[in-house]
A and B are shown apart, each in its own frame.
Chain A
Amino acid sequence: MHNKSLTQLAADLVAKRVSSVELTQHFLNRIEQQEILNAFITVDPGFSLAQAREADQRIQQGDKTALTGIPIAHKDIFCTKGMLTTCGSHILSNFVSPYDATVIDRLNQNGAVILGKTNMDEFAMGSSNETSHYGAVKNPWDHTTVPGGSSGGSAAAVAARIAPAATGTDTGGSIRQPAAFCGVTGFKPSYGQVSRFGMVAFASSLDQGGPIARSAEDAALLLNVIAGFDARDSTSVQRQTPDFVNEIGGDIEGLRIGLPVQFFGEGLDSDVEGIVREALREYEKLGATLIDIDLPNSALCVPCYYVLAPSEASSNLARYDGVRYGYRASGYSDLIDMYMKTRAEGFGDEVKRRIMIGTYALSAGYYDAYYLKAQKLRRLIAQDFAHAFERCDVIMGPTTPTTAFAIGAKTDDPIAMYLNDIYTISVNLAGLPGISIPAGLDNTGKPVGLQIIGQYFDDARVLNVAHRFQMTTDWHQRAPSRVQP
C-alpha cells in the first residue's frame, strides 16, 4: 500500500478498497517502525485519525477531491492549529499555533489528513538536518548519512514510504537537495506561487513552499491544492493557476535544454556527473536538444545568498524574544537579561551564526558594502537566467555536487556545508521554479538528483519535463533496500 502513488491511493479510497482511517493507521504504524530515522518531530495519532474519520465520511457522501483521505506529512515549519509547530527549534518547543497556514488550510479543505510534522534544520537553516533541536535525521538509503536539509524529515519520510507525500520549503535548496539525497521528487515552485502565510519565515524574499513526493505527477497533484493566490500574503502572485496534473503528459519533442557550464565544473563528483549526463542522453532520446549556456555570476550565488538570507533572518527571528510565546529562560535579572538568556538558550549555533551575520550585514556603515551589493548581485544573477532562457526552455544540471555525505562530516565547516547548495541557491535568488528528480544511484548505491529549472511561472512545464523522464525510467520508483515492499 505504501508504494502506491497518490492517484492510486485516491482510487483505492473511492473504490472502498481501503478507508482513510486504515490508510492513516498504516502509515502511523510505519512511522513507528522506522522511528530510528527520526523523520518526525510530532506525531499525534488521535488528531490524524480524527481527520481520517472525517475524510471517510466525506468520501461516503461523495464529497471528495483528489486528496481526500490521503495522509500527508508536513515540514514542521507550517503552522498547524492544535498541533505543535516547533520549526526544529528549542525556542518554539512549546508553540501551538492558533491558526493554520494557508497550505495546511487548503489541504484541510480538501480533506487531506495531517500525518505529522517532520523534522527539519532549525528554522530551515541547514543542508543536512543536523541543526535540528530534535536531533539529526537518518537517510533511509544509508543510516550513516544525512538526508539533506532543511526539509530532511519530509524527504526521508517519503523515501522510506512512511508518508505518501510531504510538504517542504526551499530557501536555497531545502526541498531539492534533500529530495536528491533521498531519491525522491522535490519541487520548488516559482516565488509567489504558493502562499507563505503561516510558513515560519526564514528569508522572506527566498522562502517558497512546495511538495516532496515520489513522482512529478504526485507533486503536481499536491501543488494543485496548495498553489494559488492568497490575499494574506502580499508576495503571493495573482495569476491563473493551471491544473498542473492536466498540464503533464505532453511530449517534449524539440525541447531546448540549457546546460550551464558552471554546473559541470570543479567540485562536481564524477560519479554524479556521469549519472546526470546519462539522464541528459535519455532526454535526447525523447527529442530534446542540449545547448551549453553561460551563467557567468554563478560563483557569486553562495556569497550573495549568505548575505541576503541571514539579513532577512536576523530580522525575521527577532520576534522570538520570550515575551509573548515560545521558550523563555528562567532566572533572569531584567529585560535585557531575559532577552539574552532566552535567545542564547533557545537558538542553536547555526541560527545564532546567521543572526549575527545578518545583523552585521545590515549595520550602519556595512549596509552598502554587504546588503546593498548583494541585492545588486541578485539582479545580475536573475539577468543571467533571463539571458540564458532566450536560448533554451529549461535548464538542467546536478542538484548537488555530491550524493549524501556522512552525518557529522561537515558540521564543523560551515563553508563546506554551504557549498552543498551551490547549484540550487541561484534558483531562489531568481525566484524560478526548480525540481529535483532521481536520476540514478552512485557507485555506493546512493541516489543522485537531476535538477530541472524553468522560467518564472513556467512551473507546469518543469513538472511535465520531469514527468516525461519518469514515464520512461524507473529511478523514482527505487526504494531504499531497508524499505519492505
Chain B
Amino acid sequence: MNWEPVIGLEVHVQLLTNSKIFSGASTAFGSDANTQACAVDIALPGVLPVMNKQAARMAVKFGLAVDAKINRRSVFARKNYFYPDLPKGYQISQYELPIVGEGHLTIDIDGGEKTIGITRAHLEEDAGKSLHEDFHGMTGIDLNRAGTPLIEIVSEPDMRSANEAVAYLKKLHTLVRYLDICDGNMQEGSFRCDANVSVRPVSQQKLGTRTELKNINSFRFIERAIEYEIERQIDILEDGGTVVQETRLYDPDKGETRPMRTKEEAHDYRYFPDPDLPPLELEDTFIEATRQTLPELPDAKQKRLMTQYALNREDATQLTVSKELADYFEAAASATKGDAKTVANWINGDLSGYLNKENKEITESPVDAQQLALLIDRIHDNTISGKIAKEVFEAIWHGEGNADDIIDNKGLKQITDTGAIETIIEEVLAKSTAQIEQYKSGQTKVFGYFVGQVMKATKGKANPQQVNEILKRKLDA
C-alpha cells in the first residue's frame, strides 16, 4: 500500500522583548541560575501579572506577516499542571481566543511553491528549567527562563513529507528573524518545534492516528525524527497493528523516537480565563502602527530580487534566507560593475562555503560586500580569471588586503598579451606531438590537455578565453 504522511507543526518562538511577558525581570540568556527571576516569576504569594505590551506588538507583527486575522480581543487562560519548574502551578497562555487567528505561509518546495495554513498563534509564558545534573541525585530548578514571552505558532496538518516540514520550519525561522521578534537560536531554545505526525493510505481522506514528537531542536533532527516516525508508523500499519496516540521524545543519539506518555496519561489542563488579566484589547491604531514597522518580507524580497537583478528562483530564495544576507547581496551587486548573477554565485557558492566551514554568520564575514564587489570588478575587467579570483578571495578572507593589493603583491594579473600567449602555446605544442596526433585524428577531448598545459606554464594567469581562441586556431589550421 502507498502511504501518505500528514504533518503539522507547533513552533515555540521566544520573543526578543527586554523584559518578561508578565514581569519586569530581564530576559537575557545565560545568567547565573535564578538571578533573573523576580517575585512574580517565582510566584510568591500575592504577586500579579502585568502584560508586556512589547510582546503583544511582536505577536501582532508576526500575525500581519503571515496575513493572519488579528483578534482585536484575545483572552489569557491558565493551563494548570504541577511541575517544579512551573512556579505558579499553571502557565499563563491563550486558549479559546488567541491574539493571532488563521494565516498562511508559502514554502518553496521541489522548484515550486506550496501554501501551508497557520491555524493560530498565541501568546504565552515559558517555564523554567529543571537541571538534572550536578545535584547528586536531586533536581535543581532555574527560573531565569520562567516568564519569557513566547508565541506558539500552530500549523494546519498541511505538510506531506519531512522535507516539507523542514522547509516550513526554515521559512518560519527566516520570517521571525526578519521581523526581529526572535533570535532564532535553536541551541538555546529560542526556537523550538513539536511535530504531529500521522500516516494514511494515499487515497484516504480521514486522518490516521497521530503521535506528537517533542524535544526536537535542530532542522536536521526534525527531518530525521519525522522520517523515523513515518517509517515506524507505516511498519506498524503494514504489520496489521494500530498506532497509539501518544507523545514521543526524539533521541538524537539513537536517531529514534520513544514513548513519553499516552493519551490516557495526558494532563487535564483545566483551562479557564485568567482572572488576574483582563482580555487583551487591541486598537486599530495599534495594529496599523505595528504594520508600519513591518520590513520587506522574505517572499516580497525574493520576488523583487528575481525581477530587479534577473536572478533565478533558487538564487533569490537562498539570498533571502536572512535579511542580512540579502542586504549583503544588494550592497555588493550595486557596488560592482559585474553582473548580479555573478555576485549571487559568489555569495551562494564560495562565501557560503567559507562561512559554513567557520560557522560564521554573514554579518561576521571577514570579506565585506565592498571587497567582494571589487573582486568581481577585477573578473569583469579581465584583470584576473574566475579561477584566480578564488585564490584572491581566500587571501581577502584571511585578511591579506583588498583584491587589488593581493593581485599586485602576488603577481596574479592575467596575461592578456596575445603575443605572449602565442609564444607559450607554441612551446606547449612543440612538446606535445603525440597529443596533436590524437587531436587531429578526431579525439578533440584532448583539447583540455593543451589548455591545462598552458595554464600550468602561466600559473593560471593566462586569459582563458584568449587561450581557447588561439589554441583552436592553431590546432585547426
- Interface residues of chain A, those whose CB is within 8 Å of chain B, are 78-79, 85, 87, 92, 95, 97-99, 101, 196-201, 203-205, 231-235, 311-312, 314-315, 317-319, 321, 323-325, 335, 339, 359, 362-364, 367, 371
Report the bound CA distance from A87 to B45 in whole Å.
9
Q: Within 8 Å of chain A (Cβ to Cβ): is B82?
A: yes
**What 1/0 flags go to B82-95 for Cβ under 8 Å of A?**
10100111100000
A97–B44 contact, CB under 8 A?
yes
B90–A318 contact, CB under 8 A?
yes
B46–A201 contact, CB under 8 A?
yes
Q: How far is the CB of A388 from chain B (nearest CB, A)?
A: 25
* Beyond A98-B39, A321-B84, A363-B268, 9 extra complex contacts between A and B, CB < 8 Å: A101-B46, A197-B46, A198-B46, A232-B50, A233-B50, A234-B49, A312-B275, A339-B82, A363-B270
Question: Which one, B44, B272, B278, contacts A234 given CB within 8 A?
Answer: B278
Question: Which one, A97, A232, A363, contacts B48 given CB within 8 A?
Answer: A232
Question: Which one, A198, A201, A315, contacts B272 given CB within 8 A?
Answer: A315
Report the bound CA distance from A234 to B23 in whole Å.
12
Interface of A is mostly: loop
Report the bound CA distance from A197 to B45 in whole Å.
10
A315–B78 contact, CB under 8 A?
yes
Interface of B is mostly: loop
- Interface residues of chain B, those whose CB is within 8 Å of chain A, are 39, 42-51, 78, 80, 82, 84, 87-90, 139, 141, 268, 270-272, 275-278
Q: How far is the CB of B415 from chain A (nearest CB, A)?
A: 75
What are 19 sample pairs from A and B whose C-beta atoms fall under 8 A apart?
A: A79-B46, A95-B45, A198-B46, A204-B275, A205-B275, A231-B50, A234-B49, A234-B51, A235-B277, A312-B275, A317-B89, A318-B80, A319-B87, A319-B89, A324-B87, A324-B141, A335-B139, A362-B272, A363-B268
Chain B residues in 8 Å Cβ range of A367:
270, 272
Chain A residues in 8 Å Cβ range of B90:
315, 318
Q: How far is the CB of B93 from chain A (nearest CB, A)?
A: 13
Report the bound CA distance from A162 to B139 in whole Å.
48
A371–B48 contact, CB under 8 A?
no
A85, A98, A362: which has the most chain B beta carbons within 10 Å? A362
Q: How far is the CB of A310 from chain B (nearest CB, A)?
A: 12
Q: How far is the CB of A369 from chain B (nearest CB, A)?
A: 14
A-B contact number at CB 8 A: 99
Contact A364 to B45, CB < 8 A, known contacts A318-B89, A321-B89:
no
Contact A199 to B46, CB < 8 A, known contacts A321-B89, A363-B268:
yes
Q: How far is the CB of B376 from chain A (nearest CB, A)?
A: 56
Question: Which one, A98, A203, A311, A315, contacts B89 given CB within 8 A?
Answer: A315
Nearest A residue to B49, CB-CB: A234
A97–B88 contact, CB under 8 A?
no
Q: How far is the CB of B187 from chain A (nearest CB, A)?
A: 28
Q: How far is the CB of A150 from chain B (nearest CB, A)?
A: 15
Nearest A residue to B269, CB-CB: A364
Report the bound CA distance from A335 to B130 in whole Å.
13
Question: Which one, A98, A315, A359, contacts B44 given CB within 8 A?
Answer: A98
Q: How far is the CB of B94 from chain A (nearest CB, A)?
A: 15
Chain B residues in 8 Å Cβ range of A234:
48-51, 276-278
Nearest A residue to B50, CB-CB: A234
Nearest B residue to A312, CB-CB: B275
B39–A362 contact, CB under 8 A?
no
B46–A315 contact, CB under 8 A?
no
